[in-house]
């Protein structure tokens, strides 16, 4: 069995609606995303001979994930999130808000990223998202 991994990092702020404690304040992280693709076999001919997939192809897809989340403020698309988003739009500074249909935890984000990569045609088997250097969530459907 072969398992290839590729990783990217991005900076993102999030707000956890309905959370009590230190993380209830709007704050940011430097996220590290590690994506794994596994295969029993390698390509036998052509450009991809001897490979599971081209790292360049994987990086291209990861760049789309990076562009989606990097330097965004990610808020859940609920009543409170919409109110916060509207208030921020009233300020003179422009805030790049990304509304998502879930509480933006490492768990929910790793599942979302897994499905986004699948939809892009990447045969991903595992997504690990580090929210801090010592805390991560792994999402897999194996
Ligand atoms: Zn956080």
| pLDDT (tens digit per residue) in 91-135 | 888 889 999 999 999 999 999 999 999 999 999 999 999 999 999
Cα-to-centroid distance, 24 and ligand 1 (Å): 9
The verdict on whether 115 is a catalytic residue reads: no
- pLDDT tens per residue, range 18-67: 888 888 899 999 999 999 999 999 999 999 999 999 999 999 999 999 99
The verdict on whether 23 is a catalytic residue reads: yes
**DSSP letters for 56-92:** HHHHHHHHHHHHHHTTEEEEESSHHHHHHHHHHHHSS
Domain boundaries, the chain: 2-54+61-140
Cα-to-centroid distance, 142 and ligand 1 (Å): 27
Superfamily of structural domain 2-54+61-140? 6-pyruvoyl tetrahydropterin synthase/QueD (3.30.479.10)
């Amino acid at each position: 069995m072969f398992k290839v991994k590729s990783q990217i990092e991005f900076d993102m702020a999030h707000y956890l609606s309905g959370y009590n404690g230190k993380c209830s304040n709007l704050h940011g992280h430097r996220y590290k995303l590690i994506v794994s693709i596994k295969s029993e076999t390698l390509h036998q001919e052509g450009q991809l001979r001897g490979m599971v997939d081209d790292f360049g192809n994987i990086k291209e897809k990861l760049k789309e994930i990076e562009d989606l989340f990097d330097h965004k403020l990610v808020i859940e698309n609920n009543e409170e999130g919409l109110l916060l988003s509207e208030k921020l739009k009233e300020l003179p500074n422009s805030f790049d808000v990304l509304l998502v249909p879930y509480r933006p935890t490492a768990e929910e984000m790793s599942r979302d990223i897994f499905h986004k990569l699948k939809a892009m045609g990447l045969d991903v088997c595992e997504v690990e998202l580090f929210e801090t250097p010592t805390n991560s969530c792994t999402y897999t459907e194996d």
